[in-house]
A and B are shown apart, each in its own frame.
Chain A
Amino acid sequence: MAIHRRDLLTGAALGLILSATSAKARIIAGALPWEPGSGTPPIPVDAGPWKFFTADEAAAVEAIVDRLIPPDADTPGGKEAGCAAFIDRELAGTYGSARRLYMRPPFTDGSPEQGPQSPLTPAARYRRGLAALDKYCRQAYGGKTFVQLSDAQQDTVLTGMQKGPIAFETVSATGFFEQILANTREGFFADPAYGGNRNMVGWKMIGFPGARYDYRDWVERHNEPYPLPPIGITGRRP
């Protein structure tokens, strides 16, 4: 074969087009190309300060996630579960930048069946949505921010965003609401490695055993409660 591996491995021009990682084209021949340590396990998020949100934004998001999933006697709410921290880290990463998505123009609104056509990345939608929410609350509630509203008032605002009549100028209120609702659920149920589902509260609430991966001894034990507690992909226990 006259093509040299080196020819395929130099340069970096279209690497981002062909792969989400910085991986390079390669020739696979003669043997399975396994190398130790070449996997890409998730990197558990650190507990440090906000990476995307400002302090005011974070306070608003913590208040929102605690209304979307409120605390009760048995299970913490979205705030204590770490949903805001989860969203913060997601927005600071690939998800927030929409780097994997098709973001080429023209952007034209279509039918619901055609799906969202916004040029806004998730990160931009949060930035605009939170600013618009703050402005709306101050106008509608005598200068108060969302955080300062009562639970009932907060629910009224969130319902108004979800179903109308609340509309924002710079971003779709409904689109922003649907995004934060989806992300809050993700933060409540995703593996704790991503910063949410702290202490596996989401999994414990429903009885999901997490990353156990082997139920051969239980598949035919019908109608019996599964006895083991959840475990995370990093080996973490609640």
Chain B
Amino acid sequence: MTRRLPPTDAVIIGLGWTGSILAQELTAVGLNVVAIERGPWRDTATDFPTTYAQDELRYHIRHDLFLRPAQETMTFRNNANQTALPIRSWGSFMPPNGVGGGGTHWNAETWRFLPSDFRQRSHNIERYGKNFLPEGMTIQDWGVTYEELEPYYDRFEYLCGTSGTAGNLKGEIKKGGNPFEGPRSREYPTPAQKQPYGPTLFAKAAIEMGYQPFPQPSGNLSQAYTNPLGVTLGPCTYCGFCEWFGCGNYSKASPQTTILPILVRRPNFEARTLCEVVKINLDPAGKRATGVTYVDSNGDSWEQPAELVLLCAFQLFNVQMLLWSGIGKPYNPSTNEGVIGRNYSYQVTSSVNAFFDEDKIFNPFISSGSIGMCVDDFNGDNFDHGKLGFIGGGYIGAVQTNGRPLQSTLTPKGTPSWGAGWKQAVKQHYLHAYQTVTHGGCCSYRDAYLDLDPTYTDAFGRKLLRITFDFHENELKMSQHLTDRVAEITRAMGPRQLDKFPRTGHYNSTIYQTTHTCGGVVMGDDPQTSALNRYLQSWDVPNLFVTGASAFPQNAGYNPTNTVAALAFMAADAIVNQYLRSPGPLVQA
């Protein structure tokens, strides 16, 4: 039996970054907000104190902060001719769980996308012609421009205290920053983090080759910072336990360190943890969300009616919730019609391992999740693709984020995987090896999509989400090109041996790459090819907004969180200043 609770103004599904941002913005104008989170409450002092946050086995190897696959997972196949099988243990990406979501255990790399990224289809056709885009590629414009999003990027960076060096201040190119970035309205809130030896050597080599390296924008702060809400973050200690871990120093920007201490004290806010939303409820006409139904950890079922439903879960679970709830037309790859599950994309990463003589000591354990020196000459359309035969790109750089011994003991190609040879190689190279990386975008394609699996179910008996995805030639060519470029710079650092690992072959769900899964509930200006309008409002159900990277029509060559958060701020602004005055569609289809 489901018990009905008193109505509230807004119900939020998932209390991660975007749920916290929306809750903060809506409670600030007086709305009553209930956030429902299937994971536990988490705070710094209790859950990742400096006394045991730095536990590689528990957090990195055994995935302690993440969702349990036993609770929810997906099935996967490379193409529609295969039978999808369940991802039984996390591999290529790490779905978050609990209050703070991915914001608790990200690396805090806080990039903005390029202005041309938001018009990727139009931009590339204008420059290279329509025939340059391969058959089956379904990239599209976002329906929002960089200029429109800039104030919201700024909001998030000043919420977080992001550490960096501006490269483009109101159109003026600044020395030391990223000369390719879109214009920013003001400097970063805090100066860039200090750089250890590896990034410094990389930057020196890059400058000698004519590039303009710059410090990676970091949500691990170079100095203490008090944000506009009055919450203070501490300086990063370069502890080397960032991604996969909570931060014990209050120095990594997260909902816990930027929003929750203020939000939770508001009388018009309430969070319910270890409560799993099973469905968004609709009125009989299917045109209006009436609230959500959730199950608590006792197994008791509750209906929470609400005027507004804000779906703020992780990208994959946003898609799944809409499919379970019957909202929006499911995507059909054979007809290329429907929108829910359409344009699933990812991130195309690669690396180069360089092995030096013992006169170079890198101390890889001295690192934060987002230190590093980067080169952006090969991102987006910052370079001429005319003769290269692909579109898109990524940043390249020296951004090694840790020296944890289970994850980051590099050995040269040809080293045995065990025995005396392995042991000797690990010992010899740990302090004297350095990894550089590429972080490339990923286009969307007609045959890469999400739907519900016909066979496998979760603990509640609901169908698992099915991922059908593989890399395409465009992305593999891009990865080869980016890897060759970063290898040239890395070689100039003077290694004895250099091993290149461009992304090749099929997408592999068992090898960690990034958690930047994208798309499936994309935004745009046409309801035939998008599920959401530019304000992340459902075309079909106007009192439903869906945040997260599920809105990305394709992925750019940067880490997504800053853009995810900026879109959430823009949606919040639209709700407060437009929707609440006149509830209904904010864009006429």
Contacts and interface: CB of A to CB of B under 8 A. Distances in A.
A70 B422 CA distance: 10
B299 A110 contact: no
A105 to B, nearest CB: 9
A229 interface: no
Nearest to A185: B406
B248 interface: yes
Interface string B292-332: 00011111101000000000000000000000000000000
Nearest to A13: B299
B366 interface: yes
Nearest to B296: A25
A106 B51 CA distance: 42
Interface stretch (A53-61, A125-133, A137-145, A198-206): A198-206
A34 B87 contact: no
A19 B42 CA distance: 13
A47 interface: no
B265 A189 contact: no
Interface in B262-302: 264-265, 267, 269-276, 295-300, 302
A19 B270 contact: no
A184 B249 CA distance: 31
B52 A115 contact: no
Given A102-B69, A191-B56, A15 B297 contact: yes
B227 interface: no
The SS class assigned to the B binding surface is loop
Contacts of A20: 64, 68
Nearest to A189: B405
Interface string A186-198: 1001110010000
Contacts of A214: 237-239
B365 interface: yes
Nearest to A205: B427
Contacts of A70: 419-420, 423
Nearest to A9: B298
Contact of B88 (A31, A35, A115, A212): A115
| Interface range, B side | 35 or more
B363 interface: yes
A177 B68 CA distance: 25
Interface in A71-126: 72, 74-75, 94-95, 99-104, 106, 108, 110-117
A212 B239 CA distance: 7
A237 to B, nearest CB: 15
B470 to A, nearest CB: 8
B147 to A, nearest CB: 36
Contacts of A191: 55-57
Interface string B541-571: 0000000000000000000000000000000
A219 B238 contact: yes
B86 interface: yes
Contact of B200 (A75, A99, A222): A222
Given A102-B87, A207-B431, A114 B76 contact: yes
Contacts of B273: 25-26, 28
Given A190-B56, A208-B365, A69 B418 contact: yes
Given A28-B271, A114-B77, A208-B365, A215 B417 contact: no
Name the residue in B38, B241, B365, B510 with the highest tally of chain A Cβ atoms < 10 Å from its Cβ.
Answer: B365
Nearest to B61: A186
Given A18-B38, A102-B73, A8 B296 contact: yes
A24 B298 contact: yes
B71 interface: yes
B70 A103 contact: yes
Given A25-B296, A104-B456, A208-B403, A115 B87 contact: yes
Nearest to B270: A29
Interface in B503-518: 506-510
A187 B570 CA distance: 48
The SS class assigned to the A binding surface is loop
B6 A1 contact: yes
Interface string A1-32: 11100011111111101111101111111111
Given A41-B51, A72-B420, A113-B506, A222 B197 contact: yes
A38 B46 contact: yes
A49 interface: no
B265 to A, nearest CB: 6
B430 A207 contact: yes
A160 B354 CA distance: 31
A107 B556 CA distance: 36
B419 A23 contact: no
Interface in B375-425: 403-406, 409, 417-420, 422-424
A181 B417 contact: yes
B51 A113 contact: no
B497 interface: no
B361 A181 contact: no
Contacts of A158: 418
A110 B61 contact: no
B185 interface: no
A114 to B, nearest CB: 5
A136 B406 CA distance: 31
9 contacts: A14-B296, A18-B275, A72-B424, A102-B86, A104-B456, A114-B85, A206-B409, A206-B431, A224-B363
Top 10 A-B pairs, shortest CB-CB distance: A13-B299, A11-B298, A206-B430, A25-B296, A190-B57, A222-B197, A102-B69, A214-B237, A189-B405, A28-B271
Given A8-B275, A20-B64, A32-B260, 17 more contacts: A18-B274, A25-B275, A26-B41, A33-B41, A39-B46, A41-B52, A100-B63, A101-B70, A113-B507, A181-B418, A184-B418, A189-B409, A205-B423, A213-B50, A215-B365, A216-B237, A222-B200
Interface of B: 5-6, 38-41, 43, 45-47, 49-58, 61-64, 68-71, 73, 76-78, 82-89, 91, 99, 194-197, 200, 235, 237-241, 248-249, 260-261, 264-265, 267, 269-276, 295-300, 302, 359-361, 363, 365-366, 403-406, 409, 417-420, 422-424, 426-427, 430-431, 455-457, 459-460, 506-510
